[in-house]
Amino acid sequence: MPAKKSKNENFSPSALRRQREREHRYQTILAAAEKLFAEEGYHKSSMEQLANASEVSVGAVYFYFKNKEDLIIQLMDEIGYLLRKTLGTVFLENGATMESFKLAGHAFFEDFCINYPEKCAIVFRESVGQSPLVEKHRKALFDKCTSDVLGALMAVCKNQGVTFKGKYSAEVIAVSIMGIYERVAYQYLFWEDQSRDLKTIGRDAVAFLLGGVNNLLNETSCT
């Protein structure tokens, strides 16, 4: 039986080139929107400014995105994927231990926040208080991240033979971790601009939260 052709093998070289060009233009506009929204603010940014920053026509922007709302939603989806991948990779590479959980927390501040301040601005600042649809996507992103944290906590405790004291302890910790990480990042990236010290600040936040985790375990320590 002949091997099945891949999807791209059904297209001519010129069609594939046009597809690559469209994808490149899409990513160019998205990157320009991320920078513009982070620097100027979502509400102050216009589609005309975005077109100029992307070096395309306004019509081209509307060809790929319905409006600014569509743009920020697409940005949130891509940023959310990167955030979850960054933390998940660190945790999985180091095994289901509290040390891995700690390293994933460090990665949030040191790999994600420090390296991608504009992405942080989109997720933690510019997407807040927007339309119901944007809020729906924002909630979905944080629900997924909270679920990831909860899953990691349960994996650690299963691996190390410990349990939480209360019925809701693990869930409360997961929600608290996401809330505190977001708040610390916002405080020291945007309100105080202490990004140079964010590694130290982040490690303090992680240590504080790990103390809370251990306090809610039936064993004295999960390290």
Q: Shortest CA distance to 189 belongs to which of 133, 136, 127, 110?
A: 110
Residue 217's SS3 state is strand
User: Which of 24, 41, 65 is the endpoint of a domain?
Assistant: 65
pLDDT of residue 36: 98
Which residue carries 């909860």 as its tokens?
150
pLDDT under 70: residue ranges of the chain: 1-9, 219-223
Token pair recorded at residue 164: 């939480």
- Domain of 186 in residue numbering reads as 68-215
What CATH number is attached to the domain comprising 198? Answer: 1.10.357.10
156, 208: one domain:
yes
Q: Shortest CA distance to 154 belongs to which of 87, 217, 62?
A: 217
pLDDT of residue 1: 45
79, 35: one domain:
no
What CATH number is attached to the domain comprising 30? Answer: 1.10.10.60
User: Which of 65, 82, 109 is the endpoint of a domain?
Assistant: 65
Give the CA distances from residue 62 to residues 20, 57, 84, in Å, rounded to whole numbers and listed in that order: 19, 9, 29
C-alpha 180 chain-centroid distance: 15
pLDDT of residue 223: 47
Asked, for residue 220, whether it belongs to a domain, the answer is: no
Number of domains in the chain: 2
The Cα 33–Cα 11 span in angstroms is 31
Summarised one tens digit per residue, pLDDT across range 3-37 is 555 555 577 888 788 888 889 999 999 999 999 99
